[in-house]
Amino acid sequence: MSHDPAKGPSCFLENQHTTCFEYLTPEEQELVNKNRIELNYKKGEILAKQGTFASHIIFLNEGLVKVYLEGRPKDLILKIVPSNHLIGLPSIYDGNNRFIYSVATYSASTVSLIDISLFKQLLSNNSRFATKIINILNEDTALIYGRFFCLTMKQSHGRVADILLCLANRVYKSPQFELAISRNDLADLTGLASESVIRIFKEFKDENLISIDGKMIHILDSEGLEKISSIA
**pLDDT tens for each residue of 145-189:** 887 888 888 899 999 998 899 889 877 889 999 888 888 888 888
For 62-90, what is the mean pLDDT?
89
Longest CA–CA separation in the chain, Å = 57
For the chain, residues classed under CATH 1.10.10.10 are 154-230
Q: Mean pLDDT, the chain, as a whole number?
A: 88
Taking only the tens place, the pLDDT of each residue in 205-226 is: 999 999 999 989 999 999 999 9
For 10-18, what is the mean pLDDT?
53
For the chain, residues classed under CATH 2.60.120.10 are 18-151
Which long-range contacts (C-beta less than 8 Å, at least 24 apart) are formed by 209-216? 209/161, 210/164, 215/178, 215/179, 216/176, 216/177, 216/178, 216/179
High-pLDDT (> 70) share of the chain, %: 92
CATH number of 18-151: 2.60.120.10
**Domain 154-230 of CATH type 3.40.50.300:** no
Q: Is 191 left (phi over 0), alpha (psi -120 to 50) or beta?
A: left
Taking the model in full, what pTM does it have?
0.83
